[in-house]
Structure 1
Amino acid sequence: MGIEDGATHCHLATATLDADTDASPSSSSSVVTQTLTLLRSDDLSLRLQAAKEIRRLTKTSQRYRRYFSAAVGPLVDMLSCQSAEANEAALAALLNLAVKDEINKIKIIEAGALKPIIGFLQCESLALQEHAAAALITLSASSVNKRVISASGAIPLLVEILRHGSSQAKYDAVMALYNLSTYPDNLGQILQTEPIPPLVDLLKSCKRSSKTAEKCTALIESLVGFEEGRMALTSEDGGILAVVEVLEGGSPQSREHAVGALLTMCESDRSRYREPILKEGVIPGLLELTVQGTPKSQSKAQMLLRLLRDTPDPRSDLQPDTIENIVSNIISQIEGEDQIGKAKQMLAEMVQVSMEQSLRHLQKRALVCTPADIPINSCASEVPSK
């Protein structure tokens, strides 16, 4: 489904939370009927008023999103008005109608909304650009719409916004691109637009723990599944380092995508990508992930550590194939006192954490069945008295 579309339109839905979600069915029906009548008026000011009312009522109410499904067509028609205010009001109303409503998402596309939305992505108005990109986030959350949106030419325009858009538009663009990337056939089209440089730039400028960083690294992880993507990331100044920094300080999900991206690169061609990855000081972050990451992160970090050591085949090592020995092997091969010192410190801390975890596990096992819990007649091994 892509990202949770209910949380992506906060910068559009700024109306007050006074929708009458507890209204009776009869009063709700009356409000819907009156609002739809205004929406179909020849007076643009009345249509604008109706669009704003629909936006307000559908902001938090799933029931009103269903009631106002009939408003999709007239709202899409408003997108062609020669009024920026009307365009923005209609987009905001359509966006609220689409949130968490699969039927409305599909209906909006079928009603012809894509053509004007694509036009807004190219217009000079930053506000309309942002509104259009935000609308595509929610609409692209529908699996049915992903192929249609990519076929409309949206992908190159979204990547162009990544390069030159406002901060908000860049955020919306990367979210929409991530949604579209979950449809496998779209990945090749995204790759053709050379998205790695703007993705790396955005990754460098945003907070490592942000949702933006998470979606950037998720996109990069998908794109490095192709040789063009791997070469682009390696060629981009600070590209691998940006991923390593997310691996060290990102959210759990971001770190999982970051280590996944580096693992994909190393698995594809260890001889080519081992040194560029090692050079960026990835070892401390990987060590931390092996004990503190998500289950997927831990597994991927361990696999990457094995690939990064001088001899990747564990059977060729004289020492046991433990993380400690793998890391010791890597440390002996890398250069730079700072990196070696930090890696050794992290290794010592990792061993300490592992010991503490093992001790806690043993303590828990010891507490499972205490002597007070054991019935007297269950002591079959008791030595009989003479």
Structure 2
Amino acid sequence: MRALDLLTRTKKSRTPPSPHPPPKASLPPISAESEANSPRNFPPPYPQLPPSSPHLRSQTAGIMTREEVEVRALGVSAYPGSRELPFQPGARSGLSIDTAGTDHSGVMVHVPKDCSSTDELQQRRKSLAQLAPELVAPPPPPTVPVVSAEDLSALDIAAVLADCRSPDTARRLHGARTLRALSKESDAHRTVLVAADGVVDTLVDLLSEPSGGVSEEAITALLNISTSDSNRRLLPSMGVLLPIVRALASAAQPMVVRETAAAAIFSLSVEDDVKVAAGDAGAVAHLVEILRFGSQQGKRDACKALFNLSMAGCNKARVLEANGVPALVEQLTDGSSGIAEKSAAVLANVVTVEAGRDAVMEEEDAVPHLVEVLETGTPRGKEHATVVLFQLAYHSEVHRAAILMEVVIPPLVRITKMGTARARDKATQLLSILRKTT
């Protein structure tokens, strides 16, 4: 019996190996719906699937994890149009996933043994960028944490102010950015910041910062703080107006800082005493400069500030001295951004004085541009243009004749029917004056 067993075992050991290898273990089954939506079944251009997509099959769990997506995508067996290549679970390398081969992010990936050339590996990296762009996207910039208004009083404001006063530029920038973020949250935040000892003074000091980034954060924080009604009344008494006007006037500051200063002056000049004080500080001439050379947003803010300031009689003459009328007339043609409406509003203030009317009529394009606003402007822009033309016609027969040289009657008639209440009233009066002239 023992001999028979030994013979049997010997025969088994001598059995030649089968010419056909045993079948590989099959992948876990997936539903017909998932198979139909598999990336292999999409026509080009191929969709960008997130790393958690259930349509990517794993050799172990049926759904690929983020790391498996990284590994399998470079193995070329997980994205459309690929050929099945051997998956090498042991071929782990320090190659980074990127699309250019230079941005080493430190992600560890599997590299198939048959990947024989750099070009082929780069092509697989590009395919990974299409399949799962989140894996190659740069990290988002750090954000400044913001506490709620209820917890703001418990925030260590002193530490933030210490950053703002640090000799290190990066710390000053971080401190100013934190104050800006807090000032953006709500009126409650802005009220607490104004009440906190040293916050406003520190922001004012940072306006003279040689680093444009720090001064930009500081002026924006002051602008945000000034949008609260209570703060708007309080800030001028805290000495912020003159430093803001200096920032507006400073050629050393980036234009974005000067434009934000213009917006802050607009916000603060809602108060009547600030209108006069800002004019006395020389703001008008620099606002006219922003109107000429600023960005679209800067021009809008400068126009709004000039409108507020020109409501004070002393500032009408300052607009004229700064040669502001030609700049305002030029902006009447810029209807796409609303600047035409705001420029017409400033002119409506300026023409209430004789020197202002004369300055407008000295501009050859003034009346044609005003008539263009009557035709194509916003309802409020049409109102302001009608007021300007009414003032010109009411005070001078020469001006009336110049207005009648343009095709002004049809748009005025339309405004009497469809304009704002004030526009309808002024258009009716202007038509009456012009008809008496003819």
TM-score (norm 2): 0.61
Give the one of 295, 298, 309 matched to 1:169: 298
Pairing of 1:197-346 with structure 2 (within 5 A): 197-207=326-336, 210-269=337-396, 271-309=397-435, 311=436
Aligned ranges 1:58-207 → 2 under 5 Å: 58-69=183-194, 70=196, 71-104=199-232, 106-107=234-235, 110-112=238-240, 114-115=242-243, 117-123=245-251, 125-207=254-336
**1:317-376 deviations in Å (ceiling 9; x for gaps):** xxxxxxxxxxxxxxxx5xxxxxxxxxxxxxxxxxxxxxxxxxxxxxxxxxxxxxxxxxxx
Are residues 48 and 104 of structure 1, via their aligned partners in 2, closer, same or farther at CA, if it must alter by over 3 Å?
Answer: farther
Which ranges in structure 1 are unaligned for 5 or more consecutive residues?
Answer: 1-14, 313-332, 334-386
Which structure 2 segments of 5+ residues have no match?
1-141
Question: Alignment partner for residue 155 of structure 2, among 31, 53, 74?
Answer: 31
**CA distance in 1: counterparts of 2:360 and 2:144, whole angstroms:** 44
Note the alpha carbon deviations across 1:61-101, whole angstroms, 9 max, x for none.
00000111131011111112222221111111111111123
Deviations 1:163-189 (A, max 9, x none): 333433322221211121122332222
* Distance apart, 1:109 and its partner CA: 6.3
In structure 1, distance between residues paired with 2:295 and 2:171: 32
Alpha-carbon displacement from aligned partner over 1:245-268 (angstroms, at most 9, x marks no partner): 112222221111111111111111
Cα displacement (A) at 1:288: 0.4
Quick one: structure 1 residues 216 and 110, their matched pair in 2 at CA, closer, same or farther if it must change by over 3 Å? same
Cα separation, partners in 2 of 1:16 and 1:292, compared to 1, 3 Å: farther
Cα 1:234–1:18 shift into 2, 3 Å: farther
CA–CA distance in 2 between the matches of 1:119 and 1:53?
Answer: 21
Relative to structure 1, is the Cα distance of residues 134 and 24 closer, same or farther in structure 2, using a 3 angstrom cutoff? closer
Letter in 2 for 1:55: R
Kept after mapping to 2: 8 A contact 1:197/1:236: yes
Distance 1:24 1:253 in 2: 37
The alpha carbon displacement at 1:54 in A equals 1.8
Greater helix content: 1
Measured against aligned partners, the alpha-carbon deviations of 1:14-37 in whole angstroms (never above 9, x if no partner) come to x989855xx373x22222635345
Post-superposition Cα deviations, 1:136-167, rounded to whole Å, max 9, x if no partner, equal: 22222232321111111111122123233343
Amino acid paired to 1:68: L
Count of residue pairs brought into register by the alignment: 292
- What TM-score does the superposition give when structure 1 sets the normalisation length? 0.69
Amino acid at match of 1:243: L
Provide the identity percentage: 35
Contact 1:121 1:157 in 2 (8 A): yes
Post-superposition Cα deviations, 1:176-203, rounded to whole Å, max 9, x if no partner, equal 1112112233222222222111101111
Distance in 2 between residues matched to 1:266 and 1:24, nearest whole Å: 55
Greater Rg by CA: 2
Which residue pairs with 2:178 in the alignment?
53
Instruction: Tell me the secondary structure at the aligned position of residue 260 of structure 2.
Output: helix
Residue 341 of structure 2 aligns to a residue whose secondary structure is helix
Structure with the greater relative contact order (CA < 8 A, sep ≥ 6): 1 or 2? 1
Return the alpha-carbon distance in structure 2 between the equivalents of residues 24 and 202 of structure 1. Answer: 41
Alignment partners' CA distance in 2, 1:291 and 1:104: 39
- d(CA) in 1 for partners of 2:240 and 2:334? 36
- Secondary structure class of the residue paired with 2:333: helix
Distance in 1 between the 2:387 and 2:281 partners?
31
CA contact (8 A) 2:244 2:265 kept: no
Aligned partners of 2:156, 2:419: CA distance in 1, in Å?
Answer: 50
Counterpart of 2:347, as a letter, is I
Q: Are the equivalent residues in 2 in contact too, given 1:234–1:240 (CA < 8 A)?
A: yes
Letter in 2 for 1:150: G
